[in-house]
Amino acid sequence: DVKVTQSSRYLVKRTGEKVFLECVQDMDHENMFWYRQDPGLGLRLIYFSYDVKMKEKGDIPEGYSVSREKKERFSLILESASTNQTSMYLCASSQDSEKLFFGSGTQLSVL
Amino acid sequence: RKEVEQDPGPFNVPEGATVAFNCTYSNSASQSFFWYRQDCRKEPKLLMSVYSSGNEDGRFTAQLNRASQYISLLIRDSKLSDSATYLCVVNPPTDSWGKLQFGAGTQVVVTP
Q: Would you give the end-to-end CA distance of chain A in angstroms?
A: 36
Smallest CA–CA distance from B49 into chain A, residue: A99
Q: What is the pLDDT of residues B56-93, one digit of tens each?
A: 999 999 999 999 999 999 999 999 999 999 999 999 88
- pLDDT value of residue A61: 97
| Of B11, B14, B1, residue with least CA distance to B105 | B11
Per-residue pLDDT of chain A (111 residues; tens, 9 = 90+): 769 999 899 999 999 999 999 999 999 999 999 999 999 888 999 999 999 999 999 999 999 999 999 999 999 999 999 999 999 999 999 998 789 999 999 999 999
The DSSP code for B8 is -
- pLDDT value of residue B92: 85
Cβ–Cβ below 8 Å for A44 and B45? no
Of A41, A97, A103, the CB nearest to B98: A97
Q: What is the pLDDT of residues B21-51, one digit of tens each?
A: 999 999 998 889 999 999 999 999 999 999 8
- pLDDT value of residue B102: 95
Cβ within 8 Å of A, B 27-66: 32, 34, 36, 42-46, 49
Of A31, A98, A103, the CB nearest to B34: A98
Distance CA B38, CA A14 (A): 29
User: Other C-beta atoms within 10 Å of B38: how many?
Assistant: 20
Label the pairing between strands B106-111 and B11-14: parallel
The DSSP code for B97 is T
In the predicted structure, residue B105 carries a pLDDT above the cut 80: yes
The answer to whether A34 faces chain B, any CB pair under 8 Å, is: no
What single string gives the DSSP state of each residue in B64-106? Answer: EETTTTEEEEEE-S--GGG-EEEEEEEE--GGGTT--EE---E
